[in-house]
Structure 1
Amino acid sequence: MSDFTLADLERIVAARAGASPDESWTARLAAAGQPRAAKKLGEEAVETVIAAIEGDRTALVSETADLLYHLMVVLRIGGVGLAEVMQELERRTGQSGIAEKAGRPQ
């Protein structure tokens, strides 16, 4: 089992986002802006779903890694820290999923 965490990935994305776009895919994606990064996130989400539906474990692992990476980039560009997302997840664990969904604005 790896000790690598999403917090580690968040730190790496932050460091690489500040690099030259000529030297870093992360910097290039960040420089392209949120619409491009979000589109790439959506593509990776679809590829992850396809891998899951097809039952391709190797592809599922690989595509999920791509999905998480691109999610961290989108969060970075949006100025949303992983801690904020984790706080929201923690808040939601205090109630059932059914109750949480029922309480969302329509």
Structure 2
Amino acid sequence: MNDVINDLYEIVMSRKSQHIENSYTCYLFEKGLDKILKKVGEEASEVIIAAKNGKNEDTVNEMGDLLYHLLVLMAEQGIKPEDLYAVLEERRKKTGNLKVPHQVDKNS
């Protein structure tokens, strides 16, 4: 999977540095951070809706869209896949880290 992510990230980065006519990725970079963030939010919502509808094929397709837009956001922010891999590797090592919600005494 890392190879696919790395390859797609490189394509995204190439679109950031050189304009290609009719490229959706170039369009996102031209419109800037607000547009990219809007698309990430839209795609995240679409993942939720697809998952709620229970059709795995739709959910997987929406996850692909979300991941693509996250890669565009990473490129825009100067975040490399290796940065993400390092965070995920650290999380993989953790066990027993369930966060306990803070209890509020409603009587005080």
* TM-score, with length taken from structure 1: 0.82
The answer to whether the 8 Å contact 1:21/1:28 transfers is: no
Q: Which residues of 2 match residues 62-73 of structure 1 at below 5 A?
A: 62-73=61-72
Gaps of 5+ in 1: none
Gaps of 5+ in 2: 101-108
Distance 1:83 1:97 in 2: 25
Aligned match of 1:42: 41
- RMSD over aligned CA atoms reads 2.2
Aligned match of 1:75: 74
Distance 1:61 1:70 in 2: 14
Amino acid at match of 2:25: T
Q: Which residues of 2 match residues 1-106 of structure 1 at below 5 A?
A: 5-20=4-19, 22-96=21-95, 98=97
What secondary structure sits across from 2:22 in the alignment?
Answer: coil
Distance 1:97 1:69 in 2: 31
Q: 1:34 to 1:97 in 2, by over 3 A?
A: farther
* Runs (4+) off by over 3 Å: none
For the pair shown, the structure with the greater C-alpha radius of gyration is 2
Distance 1:89 1:3 in 2: 12
Amino acid at match of 1:8: D
What secondary structure sits across from 1:93 in the alignment?
Answer: helix
Q: 1:97 to 1:53 in 2, by over 3 A?
A: farther
Q: 1:64 to 1:10 in 2, by over 3 A?
A: same
Distance 1:98 1:43 in 2: 30
Percent identical among aligned pairs is 35
Measure how far apart 1:3 and its partner are.
Answer: 9.2
* TM-score, with length taken from structure 2: 0.81
